[in-house]
């Protein structure tokens, strides 16, 4: 079966100067700019839930690259898997609340990336 993966839209970080400089996210559909979003100041580097330093040490955040390279279904599956992973192992960790917060972060991202159906 041929790979029929298609992306009808994508986001690209256009400007990222420093930790204290706002950035602009451009969203494209069909090669045309459809939305420009100014994002506030970057979250602290030492935030292990919302902005873990081991995922933000390059020009683009890993989650944004994954979303760009996966189909919508693949990306939602990835998010669901991470929700389960963090919930199921939280009570086995020294900081269970941190894992529950990570699960919540992925669940919120899943909600953002889920379309309502009738």
Predicted confidence (pLDDT) per residue in 28-59, tens digit = 777 777 776 666 545 445 677 776 776 666 77
- Phi and psi angles of residue 18, each rounded to the nearest 5 degrees, phi first: -150, 175
Among the residue ranges 26-30, 69-73, 103-107, the one predicted with the least confidence is 26-30
- Tell me, yes or no, if the pTM score tops 0.75: no
Q: Which residues pair with 24 in a beta bridge?
A: 15, 38
Please provide the size of the chain in residues.
118
Query: Comparing 28 with 63, which gets the higher pLDDT?
Result: 63
Q: Which residues lie below 8 Å from residue 34, measured CB to CB, with a gap of 6+?
A: 9, 27, 28
Tally Cβ neighbours within 10 Å of residue 114: 11
For the chain, how big is the Rg over CA atoms in Å?
16
Report the pLDDT value the prediction gives residue 48, as an integer from 0 to 100: 74
């Amino acid at each position: 079966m041929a790979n029929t993966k298609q992306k009808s839209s994508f986001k690209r970080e256009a400007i990222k100067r420093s930790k204290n400089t706002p950035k602009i996210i451009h969203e494209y559909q069909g090669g045309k700019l459809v939305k420009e979003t100014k994002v506030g100041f970057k979250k602290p580097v030492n935030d292990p839930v919302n902005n873990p330093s081991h995922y933000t040490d390059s020009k683009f955040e890993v989650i944004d690259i994954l979303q760009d390279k996966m189909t919508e279904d693949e990306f939602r599956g990835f998010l669901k898997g991470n929700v389960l992973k963090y919930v199921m192992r939280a009570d086995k960790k020294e900081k269970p609340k941190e894992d529950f917060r990570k699960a919540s972060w992925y669940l919120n991202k899943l909600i953002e990336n889920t379309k309502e159906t009738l």
